[in-house]
Amino acid sequence: MFKKQILQKLKGYNEVLYAEDYDFLCRVILNKYNVKYIDKPLIKYRVRFSGINKSKQYYQEIVSQIVNENYRQALKNRKIYNPSEYIKRLDSNIVEKFKVNNMKFEEAKELIRENKKIIGIINILFLLLKSKIKRKEMINKFCLNCVCKFE
């Protein structure tokens, strides 16, 4: 939730395919508006297999990382970045590699659940070394979990 004046001041949502909300939230933070995490459901949300979150989840994850990296650079260098330009050049091979690595990651987690812990952990470590995108995803999830626990 946010005030209408914030949406107007930031000139609405950017055309960032599959990550419009994330891009908007980054711009909210960049413009020094207060953001708070509410740890309870405020709406009901139905997830369908054909929905964007399932059908384009790999593309969405990569786009979110591009948005994240662009806004980190914006904070660091005090410049304005437009992640849309980077996203337009996104290669479909990158998305396919991420999808394959993600499936292998899920298989490794299943090995751990089946008590084949050493093989599962070795596979996960190998995938994290091999895939920069998966590595960033895991670091972001870890950091988010840490932040949420301390609030």
* Cα separation, 151 vs 49, whole angstroms: 33
pLDDT band at 61 (very low <50, low <70, confident <90, very high): confident
Residue 40 has what DSSP assignment?
Answer: S
Indicate left, alpha or beta for 45 from its phi (over 0: left) and psi (-120 to 50: alpha).
Answer: beta
Percent of the chain with pLDDT over 70: 74
Q: Kindly report the pTM of this predicted structure.
A: 0.55
pLDDT (tens digit, 9 = 90+) per residue, 14-37?
777 677 777 888 888 878 888 887
Q: For residue 143, is pLDDT > 70?
A: no
pLDDT (tens digit, 9 = 90+) per residue, 74-114?
777 776 666 666 666 666 677 777 778 888 888 998 998 99
DSSP for the chain?
Answer: ---HHHHHHTTS----TT-HHHHHHHHHHHTT-------S--S-----TTSHHHHTHHHHHHHHHHHHHHHHHHHHHT----HHHHHHT--HHHHHHHHHHHHHHHHHHHHHHTT-HHHHHHHHHHHHHH-HHHHHHHHHHHHHHHHHHH-
